[in-house]
Amino acid sequence: MLRNILLATSVTLSLLAAGPAFAAEKKTIAVSIPAADHGWTAGVVYHANAAAAEINAAFPDIEVVVKTSPSASSQVSAIEDLSATRQLDALVILPHTSEELTTPVAAIKDNGTFITVVDRGLSDPEIQDLYVAGDNIAVGFNTAKFLVENLGGKGNVVVLRGIPTVIDDERIKGFQDGIAGSELKVLDIQYANWNSDEAFKLMQDYLAKYPQIDAVWANDDDMLLGVLEAIKQSGREEIKYALGGNGMKEIIEKVMAGDAVTPVETPYPPSMIKTAIYLTVAHFTGHAPVRGSFKLDAPLITKDNAAEYYFPESPF
């Protein structure tokens, strides 16, 4: 045990481990997440596996099991299979959809399982013991604030939004709140489905349509990659800022390098799954109360704090 404590890297971890974990029998924590089908979910899978490996090594009394599922229905089957084959002490779940997962998760809770919900809430918030999420409104709001300040309160902005979902709506709402009261004008908002190819095309069209664009905001970094390529091709010089969101490592690298057009980034980090797993483990090992809601801030990532959000090994 002593050696394990020494191995544990973070201060928090060693504090947690010093708790009464000794006597307890082995606890099982199941982690159910969507399969990697695009950059962000790939990051979730990476961080969930990393957390499982670290915790399994640090705490012999805890076993973290990670299961990925490609769809909502297969996620339902996955958690039912998990709970049928063993006693689950905790379930950390990032649900595919709120509605479909609510009843199955409620059934698992009825067996006495501690429920941690990540990112997307269930339809009934009573079910969760712990809720961990990022702040989509802040993603839009902080980006908008940065643009208002750095463009001197006025200018023309074009926006690329993702797939029609709550996440997308919240980011756009935050952005509109952020520019309210300034003379920043949103020339256009169109969907590009969080896809770099579609963003490339949309940005080409924006450039053809508007002779003067001061800044571009793509509410996700995959789209920002397409935007940057379209700007580069056009040779247009007047665009001062092209910003994204989420914290993709390629974009964080730009921020670290002091890129003039993309000097900042806002995180909606897939590593929140790791935060959720560690907090859940604390409930069992640290005798630390964790019930409640934990909302990760989306502060501006600048050159100074970029390292905190940079995961070179992650696919995202």
Partner 1 sequence: MTDVPAAPPRALQGWSIGWGDVGPFLALGALVLIGFLINPDFLSANNVANVVTRSAFIAIIAIGATFVISSGGLDLSVGSMAAFITGVMILFMNWAVPSFGTAAIPLGMAVALVTGIACGLLNGTIVTMGRIEPFIVTLGTMGIFRALITYMTDGGTVAIDRSLREAYRPVYFGNVLGVPIPILVSLAVALVAAYVLYRTRFGRRCIAVGANEDVARYSGISVTRVRTMAFVIQGACVAIAAICYVPRLGAATPTTGLLWELQVITAVVIGGTALRGGRGRIWGTVIGAVILEFIANLMVLSDFVSEYLVAAVQGVIIIIAMLIQRMSKR
Token pair recorded at residue 195 = 């896809």
Closer by beta carbon to partner 1, 129 or else 253: 253
Is residue 162 within 8 A of residue 219, CB to CB? The reply is yes
Minimum distance from residue 63 beta carbon to partner 1 (Å): 24
Sheet holding 27-34, edge to edge: 62-69, 27-34, 90-93, 114-118, 130-133, 292-295
Least gap, CB of 24 to partner 1 (angstroms): 35
Q: Is 238 exposed, middle or buried (0-12, 13-18, 19+ CB in 10 A)?
A: exposed
CB of 128 to partner 1, least distance (A): 26
Q: Which of 222, 265 has the CB closer to partner 1?
A: 222
Of 226, 155, 162, 151, whose CA–CA distance to 189 is shortest? 162
In sequence order, the 6+-apart residues with CB closer than 8 A to the CB of 199 are: 160, 192, 218, 222, 223, 224, 225, 226, 227, 230
Nearer to partner 1, 233 or 305 (CB): 233
- The CB-of-36 to partner 1 minimum distance in angstroms stands at 2
C-beta of 127 vs 207, nearer to partner 1: 207
Least Å from the CB of residue 51 to partner 1: 17
Rank residues 88 and 203 by Cβ distance to partner 1 and give the closer one: 203
H or E, element range at 93: strand 90-93
- Interacting residues toward partner 1 by CB under 8 A: 35-39, 41-43, 45-46, 161, 164, 188-191, 194-197, 200-202, 204-206, 208-209, 222, 225-226, 229, 233-234, 250, 314-316
